[in-house]
Amino acid sequence: MPRFTIMHIYEVFAKNQYEATDELMRARAGKYDKVYLKKVLVKDAEELQPFRHKVNVFADPKPPAEKPAKWGTIFKRQMTGKW
């Protein structure tokens, strides 16, 4: 049996993300979340499969350019004021 990915996109008016989340949760609890429903996307799950393995949320965006300074170097920099 084929597998599909369904995404619901809501548009909620609020001052910040927390208020928007609270309002959407109240709407879902009260069964009136369709008021905020903007778009529903249905994609074939096999179509999205190759891209999922490339995303790693825990990886560093870019490796550090140099090693972090040791405590002696940091102390010397603070005493002399030179970076």
Question: What is the value of pTM for the model shown?
Answer: 0.49
Give the tens place of pLDDT for each residue, 60-72. 667 667 788 889 8
Q: Which residue has the higher pLDDT, 68 or 31?
A: 31
Domain extent, residue 19, equals 4-80
Structural domain count of the chain:
1
Q: Is 82's pLDDT higher than 70?
A: yes
Give the tens place of pLDDT for each residue, 33-42. 899 999 998 8
Q: How does the average pLDDT of the chain come out, rounded?
A: 82
Report the amino acid identity of residue 40.
Answer: V
Task: Please give the pLDDT value at position 33.
Answer: 86
CA distances for 42 relative to 6, 7, 54, angstroms = 5, 7, 21
